[in-house]
Amino acid sequence: MLQSGHIFIVSAASGTGKTTLVSRLSTHQPDIRISISHTTRAPREGEQNGVHYHFVSRTEFEEMIAGNMFIEHANVYGNYYGTSLKAVESLTQQGFNVILEIDVQGAEQMRRLLPEATSIFILPPSMTELTERLKNRGTDSEDVIAHRLKKSREEIEQSLLFDYVIVNQELTQAEQDLLAIIRSVGLRAQAQSQTITRILTGE
């Protein structure tokens, strides 16, 4: 039987470059998949349904909550976001390592529900750099930026609750750090029980 994959929770304050980091890693590593969340927010330019998110209506999302279809869900900036249990299970059963790129509220729920998952928080190099990155995105007003920064500070304060912390100073280094964490989890003795049995039985 195929060894099942592990679940990695990746969170960060907005503007930290988490999405770029995680998608780069999954492009380079075929055994790593990003879980596609459901959301009620409208697609941004270039985003495709079923690729970046499953875009659904509020009613559909609420029906999914009622049907217990999410492992976790949260309201982020007025929109719902949730991780489907079935989708994650199907990927781990196929042997993929699965990254859940979720906010800190979702991460907290996951840590409680699935303590065996590994949680990772991505930090910006500094608050000054984070402010610059948010401004340079050019998509948000001063008020929105100020609100996001306040929220970011609160989220960063929670980073000590995570298993690992990576500073995203330089993308290539951050990608290597993230990969090192994922590989070390796969090398744990417990994760290799089937390999040990195979060696002992000579199969």
Query: Which residues make up the interface to ligand 5GP (CB under 6 A)?
Result: 14, 37, 41, 72, 74, 76, 81-83, 101-103, 105-106
Nearer to ligand 5GP (CB atom), residue 74 or residue 134: 74
Q: How far is the CB of 130 from ligand 5GP (least distance, A)?
A: 14
Check if the beta carbon of residue 97 is closer than 8 Å to that of residue 32.
yes
CA distance to 12, 32, 98, 138, per residue, from 187 (Å)? 25, 15, 16, 42
Q: Which is nearer to ligand 5GP, 108 or 175 (CB)?
A: 108
- Judged by beta carbon, residue 37 or residue 159, the one nearer ligand 5GP is 37
Beta bridge partners of 70: 84
Phi, psi of 98 (to 5 degrees): -115, 130
For ligand 5GP, the closer of residues 5 and 82 by Cβ is 82
| Helix intervals (H) in 29-170 | 58-66, 85-93, 104-113, 127-136, 142-157
Nearest approach, Cβ of residue 194 and ligand 5GP (Å): 30
Least distance in Å: CB of 83 to ligand 5GP?
4
- Closest approach, Cβ 116 to ligand 5GP, in A, equals 19
On the 0-12 / 13-18 / 19+ scale of CB atoms within 10 A, 17 is middle
